[in-house]
Amino acid sequence: MKVIYLLHKFPKISETFILNEMLEMQKKGVALEIFAIENPGEDRVHPHVQQLPPVRYFPKASSWQKITAHLYFIAKRPLRYLAAWCLALVSGEGLRKNLLLELHSARLVDQKCADHIHAHFGDAAADMAMLAHLVTGVPFTFTTHSYDLFRFPPDNYKLKSRLALKHVSISEYNKRFAIDTFGVDASHIVIVHCGVDFTRLPARAFAANGDNLLVSIARLHKDKGLDVLIRACDSLKKQGVAFECRIVGEGPDRPALEALIAELGVGDRVKLLGNRTQAEVFELLQKAKIKVLSSRLEGIPVSLMEAMALKVPVISTRICGIPELIEDGKSGFLVPAEDAAKLAEKIRVLLEDGGLRVTFAKNGYKKVSEEFDLKKETDKLLKLWSQEGA
């Protein structure tokens, strides 16, 4: 089977879930072609990207190239071209604009003769996948995650979901949100979790016995609530709790977070490490007592899954799909978003209770291995792609 992955920005160091999914598909014998709208140009890239086919970036087309793309589809697929325009005329402005200006990109996709197109995130990449489907007939699916549902949703979710072979959701929460908010047909959404590749994980004991190291892996963005974690660290320091906190990730809020660390005087406890490769993250997690994620908005974070798969006890917030991963008091702690005091309280409880850490580690590992195994989840996706019209 030949599948085109259509992505907005790739490779992004913060989106290892896409990289790992494609690597697993290659293991299963799927021939991949990768197209991206933009190259994010990050200074660090996961080395496993080299195991994938080269990424093809859609070029900016000249006026003549745009015209010839229309002529190409008029000659090769006249009925599909006409049907696409009929749909565009009764749909939103976005489809009309893409059909008018981006058909040269769909032509590049058509020339690959793929069996299926899959996009991650419901915005620009899914728009391109829908366009390619309309003029080529190649079926497509798309996976929605977080910001593309909650923060910056496109205005054509219902249309995209209807035209797709299936609309893939990473959680029950996201599925319900799409149905209630955008009027998406419930029968047209399937849940396929992001997952953990257990073959890439290093070995680890159930609970670290060394320093009280807290680790958070998150983009430096307000949605991740890192300011709440820093305030919780300030509270712990004032209580005389011995600990260190390391935050892995990069993003637009770095200056504000650095200023908060300085203001609270916790620079001796809290360090912003910037971006790290997956191997470096795993090395840090092996030393951690607790993985903390204090987000305000999420899907189901793969960083939490990976920590649980490494038998690291976790604390996170009771938002979105996270309770589908962490059962409060059984496989981790859940606290209200924005509540630095409660977060500090739960961190202290877990630091001081080795038995509870072992219990959380065992139960967390069991949960992830049973329900968030990348091999099992990609099997679901591959089965879906193989059942056109199901």
For the whole model, what pTM was predicted? Answer: 0.93
Residues 209 and 171 in one domain: no
Residue 390 in any domain: the answer is no
Residues 272 and 355 in one domain: yes
Residue 155's pLDDT band (cuts 50, 70, 90)? confident
Plot region of 379 (φ>0 → left; ψ -120 to 50 → alpha; else → beta)? alpha
Residues 187 and 258 in one domain: no
- Cβ-contact 112, 132 below 8 angstroms: no
Helical ranges in the chain per DSSP H: 16-27, 63-76, 78-90, 93-101, 103-110, 124-136, 147-150, 157-163, 172-182, 226-238, 254-264, 278-286, 302-309, 340-352, 354-371, 374-385
- Cβ-contact 36, 120 below 8 angstroms: no
Residues 148 and 273 in one domain: no
- Cβ-contact 3, 32 below 8 angstroms: yes
- Cβ-contact 12, 45 below 8 angstroms: no
Residues 339 and 288 in one domain: yes
Burial label for 153, CB within 10 Å (0-12, 13-18, 19+), is: middle
- pLDDT digit string (tens) for 71-125? 999 999 999 999 999 999 998 778 999 999 999 999 999 999 999 999 999 999 9
CB atoms < 10 A from the CB of 47, how many? 10
What's the pLDDT score for residue 389? 45
Residue 296 in any domain: the answer is yes
Residues 119 and 245 in one domain: no
**Distance, CA of 141 to CA of 109 (rounded, Å):** 15
Q: What is the mean pLDDT of the chain?
A: 94
Residue 180 in any domain: the answer is yes
Task: Give the single-character DSSP code of 207.
Answer: S
Residue 255 in any domain: the answer is yes
CATH of the domain at 172: 3.40.50.2000
Residues 314 and 337 in one domain: yes
Q: Which residues of 351-368 are buried (b: 16+ CB within 10 A; e: fewer)?
A: beeeebbebbbebbbebb
Residues 37 and 184 in one domain: yes
When pLDDT is averaged across residues 366-382 and rounded to a whole number, the result is: 97
Residues 188 and 234 in one domain: no
What's the pLDDT score for residue 202? 87
Residue 309 in any domain: the answer is yes
What's the pLDDT score for residue 94? 86
- pLDDT digit string (tens) for 221-265? 999 999 999 999 999 999 999 999 999 999 999 999 999 999 999
pLDDT of 204 above 80:
no
Residue 122: phi, psi to the nearest 5?
-90, 10
Q: How many domains does the chain have?
A: 2
Residue 53 in any domain: the answer is yes
Residue 335 in any domain: the answer is yes
Domain range spanning residue 99?
2-195+374-385
Residue 371's pLDDT band (cuts 50, 70, 90)? very high
What's the pLDDT score for residue 208? 53
Residues 165 and 262 in one domain: no
Residues 296 and 161 in one domain: no
Q: Which of 1, 28, 4 is nearest to 387 (CA)?
A: 1
Three-class secondary structure of residue 141 per DSSP: strand
Residue 221 in any domain: the answer is yes
Bridge partners (DSSP) listed for residue 190: 168
